[in-house]
Amino acid sequence: MIAVITGDIVASRKLVNQEKWLLPLKSLLSTWGESPTDWKLDRGDFFQVEIKHSEDVLRKVLEIKALIKNVAPIDVRKKISTIDVRLAMGVGEKTYSGESISESNGPAFIYSGEKFDQLKKEGTLMGIKTPWKDFDEEMNLYLRLASIFMDKWSISSAELVQIVLNNPKITQEEIGEQLGIKQNSVSGRWNRAHLNEILEVNKIFEKKIKALLE
């Protein structure tokens, strides 16, 4: 089974310079695969990404979320980005591989698209649909709860989350050296980002998906 992420940038039209989010997102996605077979940006701010190992999809989604929340706001006095990102995950089979991801098909693509439409109707920004209803119910609850603080990540919180997701074994001291701040400041940012809770949700997600795939 594979996973498919369907997403769009929320409030992107408020930014005059679209490259503020577009270039970093393209750079991130290019480290995961080739465009347009593995990922594609379409219709301005809409995108799709195929993830070969479905247990990795939530971590990938969190990386995208942190990247977008780290885009500088229009008003420099504000601490939270002007834009956000809507992200729907689908896990399932891939029955057809097209030259472009938009031509590929299978339950993973259908689930992702259906969840994306559902998120727009619900006004929520993150969710998942899989063949396992009980799993979906549990994980979507976790994601809704986590979104309460993820949607409010400041630029500094998002920056910290990006660093940790890219290097899970990094210490707070090393983060402090990288950012040029003291360890206690790193600890404060870590707590404000609710990073322990985020990492725990991802850990549970990976464990449950792997068990279901066995």
Q: Sheet with 126-129: list strands edge to edge.
A: 39-42, 46-51, 2-10, 84-92, 126-129
Q: Can you tell me which residue has the tokens 């920056």?
A: 159
Average pLDDT over residues 4-27: 95
* The pLDDT of residue 75: 93
The token pair that represents 63 in the structure block: 């990386």
The token pair that represents 79 in the structure block: 């601490």
Average pLDDT over residues 34-55: 95
The token pair that represents 80 in the structure block: 């939270």
Alpha-carbon span 16 to 130, nearest angstrom: 37
* The pLDDT of residue 76: 87
> In this predicted model, what pLDDT tens digit does every residue of 47-73 receive, in sequence order?
999 999 999 999 999 999 999 999 999
CA 151, 154, 160, 163 torsion-angle sign: positive
119, 158 contact by CB (below 8 A):
no
> In this predicted model, what pLDDT tens digit does every residue of 85-105 receive, in sequence order?
999 999 999 999 999 999 999
Q: Categorize the per-residue pLDDT at 180 as very low, low, confident or very high, splitting at 50, 70 and 90.
A: very high
> In this predicted model, what pLDDT tens digit does every residue of 190-203 receive, in sequence order?
999 999 999 999 99
Alpha-carbon span 89 to 214, nearest angstrom: 20
Q: Are strands 126-129 and 84-92 parallel, antiparallel or unpaired?
A: parallel
CB contact set of 21 (below 8 Å; sequence gap of 6+): 9, 12, 15, 67, 68, 71, 83
48, 40 contact by CB (below 8 A):
yes
Alpha-carbon span 183 to 134, nearest angstrom: 41
CA distances from 19 to 23, 52, 106, 122 (A): 5, 27, 32, 29
> In this predicted model, what pLDDT tens digit does every residue of 97-139 receive, in sequence order?
999 999 999 999 999 999 999 999 999 999 999 999 999 999 9
The rounded Cα 11 to chain-centroid distance in angstroms is: 17
Q: What is the pTM of this model?
A: 0.97
